[in-house]
Structure 1
Amino acid sequence: MAHEPAVIAALDVARPLVVDLGYGARPDTTVEMAGRLRRVAPDLEMVGLEIDPARVVDPRDGVRFAVGGFEMAGLRPRVVRAFNVLRQYDETEVDAAWSRLRAALSPGGVIVEGTCDEIGRRCTWVLLDVAGPVSLTLCWAPEHSERPSDLAERLPKALIHRNVPGEKIHDLLTLADQCWDIAAPLAPYGPRVRWRHAQDLLRERGVDCVVTRRRMSDNVLTVPWEAVAP
């Protein structure tokens, strides 16, 4: 997330406000997120919001915590992260939740709404701006996943029930698996080299995916929202 160009652009103001919505039983990931984003924007203000008052803790490491939900407790953030928040909601409620989140953004702000496993080995998220969804990103530690479609169980709520034949997200995951298999001869060079080649194959097959050439610890696939939208 700290390397997402849209997030970096949103942080490029004086004292940008960042909200981590629904941080859960412990605020550890919020504090960790603040540390990572401060490498980009050292003067950012970080707030963790939880709908359960019992989970609100005292400030720590330059991060404060408060009660709040989709209304953002009246805040106007530049960046919002909402991970594993919509999992308990019905798919039909996603658009309304997105609309409420977008309405709370300050101009130029973005939202990262998605899902991850318990220790962040498999993550997926939708990037949204004030106009709506922009892109989908799949991110995984290759040591813990056999193939791209392993992330299907961690798709955002807007897509998790759409991974069936005839839906665009299913087509994307199927093609990603095929390209991963074709790139198998590069396996001796490691899963990241293999994935970079698989991404090149995806682009050759018409997938408008972002190919990042900088060295990364995770495998990442980012496509425009239109490529997977239900």
Structure 2
Amino acid sequence: MDGRAARARRPVGEITRGTTGHNRLRRSDRWVAEVCRPLLLSADRPLVVDLGYGASPVTTSEMFARLRRVRPDVEVVGVEIDPVRVAAARPHERQGLSFVRGGFELPVGGRPLIVRAFNVLRQYGEAQAWEAWDLLRSRLAPGGVIVEGTCSEIGHRAAWVALDARGPRTLTLSTRLSGFERPSDLAERLPKTLIHRNVPGERVHAFLRDFDHAWDVSAPYGAYGMRPRWIASVERLAGRWPVATTPPLGGRRRWRLGELTIPWQALAPDRP
């Protein structure tokens, strides 16, 4: 094999730290199972990819179990660039769940309906993150969705972007309601394409500023617990920002989970 052929087969991307753990991605799994339910139910072959699952396949296995409750024949493929991690995951394979070596090129033998990529782009630059998004979008099945985000070590704080073939569509913030002091604490989990934009003059900075203000004004609701205060804050914020207020993306049922979704365009940087 010549050098060009070897380069063509090389996975696209870099090895991540691989940190993972049980239920670390439960928040995003719950969102995918609810929001993407019609997509999963209507597909002829629901193929889902978990990209960059890390040193253990536990979160891929958990995603598989959760999505099988929605669609019993869903197929989930864990993709990892590190061959050692793939070898360690292979004993966990079963019907509908498999693991392969690869990167952003998604070598899964078909176009996936859903791609989850969590804590993969943290080590990349902003421009590289946009390039990775473009490559992933080019691999999607028609109508497919990418869920790309980051979370804390134990999953109590998370943020993710949903993208389709046209580009990013929504940003979701999700937190354990006892896991923060102010909503702007979630800024540390913003996707790579936004995290460096949290400065005065950028939309995402103004959004988090207003969220903090809504949180402060809603302090009296804290007498009834963190959940009522969160819900009151989101309702107040929705008066100034186009926060999703109806299912499946919004409304009290989702807000009770410590979640909020807003259209990407409301926060998009002026110069991607």
Global fold match (TM > 0.5): yes
Partners of 2:206 and 2:259 lie apart in 1 by 17
Distance 1:215 1:55 in 2: 34
Runs of 5+ unmatched residues, structure 1: none
> Equivalent residue for 1:77?
112
Higher radius of gyration, 1 or 2:
2
1:8 paired residue number: 37
Match of 1:47 in 2: 77
1:173-220 per-position Cα deviation (integer Å, ceiling 9, x unaligned):
110110011111000221111111111111122x11113222666311
Task: Work out whether residues 18 and 47 of structure 1, in 8 Å CA contact, stay in contact via their aligned partners in 2.
Answer: yes
Counterpart Cα distance in 2 of 1:215 and 1:71: 33
Match of 2:165 in 1: 130
| Aligned positions of 1:135-214 closer than 5 A | 135-205=170-240, 207-211=241-245, 212-214=251-253
The residue type paired with residue 128 of structure 1 is L
Distance 2:140 2:146 in 1: 8
* Whole-angstrom distance in 1 between the partners of 2:138 and 2:146: 11
Alignment partners' CA distance in 2, 1:186 and 1:108: 40
1:118 aligns with 2:153: yes
Instruction: Report the more deviating stretch, 161-170 or 59-68.
Output: 59-68
CA–CA separation in structure 2 for the residues paired with 1:203 and 1:187:
19
- Structure 1 window deviating more from structure 2 (130-139 vs 30-39): it is 30-39
3-state SS of 1:14 partner: coil
Task: Give the CA RMSD over aligned residues.
Answer: 1.5
Q: Percent identity?
A: 54
The equivalent position to 1:24 in structure 2, one of 54, 58, 68, is 54
Q: Structure 2 unaligned segments of length 5 or more: list them.
A: 1-27, 246-250
For 2:36, give the aligned amino acid: V
Q: Return the offset for 1:30.
A: 0.8
| Residues matched between the structures, number | 229
